[in-house]
Amino acid sequence: MDTTDKIKRITLAGFLIGMFAITGCKQQPSSGGPPTGGPPEVGVVAIATAPVTLTMELSGRTSPHLIAEVRPQVGGIIQKRLFAEGSDVKAGQVLYRIDPATYQAAYASAKAALSRAEANLVPARLKAERFQELVAINAVSRQDYDDASSMLKQAEADVAANQAVAEAARINLDYTSVKAPISGRIGRSTVTDGALVTASQTTPMATIQQLDPVYVDVTQSSAELLRLKRNLANGEIKGQDASQAKVKLLLEDGSSYSQEGTLKFSEVSVDQSTGSVTLRALFPNPNQLLLPGMFVRGIVQEGVSEQAILVPQRGVTRNSKGEAMVMVVGAEEKAEQRIIKVSRTVGDNWLVSEGLTAGDRVILEGIQKARPGTLVKAVPFVSKPEAPAASSSPQSAAVKK
C-alpha cells in the first residue's frame, strides 16, 4: 500500500469520527426528557354589568300625515284646471272651475223669491200690529185678529224657507270653484278641461298629501310584544314614556335618515293574517325625502336594561346541541366551559340572560390552547386594529352597503 492510500484512509477515518462526535453532541440534550414551560397565555375580558338601551329593528312603510281626495260636490263641465300637477297647494286654493251658469241662475231665482217673501212680510206684520190695538177696544173681532197673526207667521215662515233656498243656491254656486281641503303636495289630475263631472263621484279628480311631517307604520310580531311586556313586568327592562320613545330610520339603500321620530301609538289589536301589531311613529320631513309607500326599517327603543351583561361575540361558540358557550378562567386559574343563554345582539356583543355574572373572566384569545381543566395564564385582552385590505385595482375594493 502506497503512501497516498494511507493518507486517504486516515482522512476518511478522521472525518467519520468527527461526524459521530457532532451527532452525539446534538442528541445529548434531548436525552434528558421534554423541555419544561409555563401555562399557555389567554386573553380575557372581565364581565361587568352596565345599563344598556335596548332597541328593535322593525320593517314598515311611510304614509302621509294627511291625505284628501278632491271630488266635485256639484256636477258640470270643467272650465279650467288652475294648478300644476305635482306642486304644493294651500288649503282653500281653487283647483278647478266648473261652469257656473246654471248655478248662478238658480241663485238669482232663489234671491228673487226671498225678496218677494220679505215684501209680503211687511203688510202682514203691519196688519197684525193694527189688529192688536183694535181688538183691545173691541173695534175688530177676536177672530180677525187671530187670522192676521196667523198670516204674519206664515209670511215669516216663507221668508225663512226662501232664505234657506237662497243659501243652498249660493253654496252650490260656490262649489263650482273646487278648492283644496288641505295644504300639501297634489298629484296628477284625472280630469281635463271640458270633462263632465258629477256630484260626489267615486273617482277623485286629484289627491293631496301632506308630507311634512310623515307617518311611518312598522309592524311588530305579537310574540315580541309578549316578550317585551314580560320583561317589563319582571323588571328586566325599565320602560319609558311612550310619548318620549324615539325612533330612527334606515332607508331602502341602507343609509340612515337624519331626522329622529317619535313613537305615537301602538295598535290595540293583532292582525289575524300576519300575527303582528302596527306601531306608528311621526317623523319630520322638511326636505320631503320620505315619500308615501317607501319601505323603511325603524329602530325603536324598547327600554333600558339596568344590569345588562354583554360578552363579545368572538368569545361565544356553539356546541353540538346548538347551545351558546364560553370559556372562562376559574378560581384556580383553570379553564372552564360555561353554557350561557343569549337573547340578542347589541352591536358586536351578545346580551347574556343566564350563565355569567359580574367578575367572570371570559377567554377571547387563545381559546384553542385552553382545554377544560387545564391551567392557563390570564392576561387582559387587547384588541388589535385590523389592517386595511390591499387591492391591486380600484375595481377589487369592496363596497360597504
Lowest mean pLDDT among 10-19, 22-31, 323-332, 391-400: 391-400
The residue type of 356 is L
Contacts of 137 (CB under 8 A, 6+ apart): none
pLDDT of 394 higher than 70:
no
191 plus 115 within the same structural domain: no
The CATH number of residue 356's host domain is 2.40.420.20
CATH of the domain at 228: 2.40.30.170
- Both 197 and 81 in one domain: the answer is yes
Count structural domains, the chain: 4
Q: What is the mean pLDDT of the chain?
A: 81
Q: Which residues contact 301 (CB under 8 A, 6 or more apart)?
A: 53, 54, 55, 240, 245, 246, 247
What residues contact 242, with CB distance under 8 A and at least 6 apart? 263, 265, 266
| Residue 167 and residue 137 share a domain | yes
* Contact present, 352 and 341 (Cβ < 8 Å): yes
Same domain flag for 115 and 162: yes
Domain end call among 159, 175, 191: 175
Mean pLDDT of the 312-331 span = 87
* DSSP annotation of 284: -
- 195 in the same domain as 150: no
Q: Are residues 217 and 322 in the same domain?
A: no
At 240-273, the pLDDT tens digits run 555 557 788 999 888 899 888 887 877 777 877 8
Domain residue limits at 375: 44-52+307-380
Partners of residue 67 on adjacent β-strands:
209
Flag whether pLDDT at 9 surpasses 80. Answer: no
Asked if residue 27 belongs to a domain, the reply is: no
Alpha-carbon gap, residue 268 to 264, rounded angstroms: 13
- Residue 10: which pLDDT band, with cuts at 50, 70 and 90? low
The answer to whether residue 32 sits within a structural domain is no
Give the pLDDT band (50/70/90) at residue 239: low
In a domain, residue 159? The reply is yes
Residue 11 lies in a domain: no
Enter the C-alpha cell of residue 102: 246654471
Model confidence over 45-55: pLDDT tens digits? 888 888 887 77
Give yes or no for residue 6 having a pLDDT over 60: no
1 within domain boundaries: no
Q: Do residues 341 and 352 share a domain?
A: yes
The pLDDT tens digits for 44-101 are 888 888 888 777 788 889 999 999 999 999 999 999 999 999 999 999 999 999 999 9
What DSSP string describes 241-266? Answer: -GGG-EEEEE-TTSPBPSS-EEEEEE
Do 92 and 197 have their domain in common? yes
Look at residue 15 in the predicted model and tell me its pLDDT.
55
- Mean pLDDT for the stretch of residues 130-145: 85
Is residue 9 included in any domain, yes or no?
no
Evaluate whether residue 31 is within a structural domain: no
Q: Which three cell numbers stand for residue 390?
A: 390591499
pTM comes to 0.62
- Cα–Cα distance between 347 and 314 in angstroms, integer? 12
Co-location of 227 and 321 in the same domain:
no
Strands (E), 74-130: 76-81, 88-89, 94-98
Instruction: Give the chain's largest Cα–Cα span.
Output: 191
Does 7 map to a domain? Answer: no
pLDDT score at 203 = 92
Q: Does residue 296 sit in the same domain as residue 197?
A: no
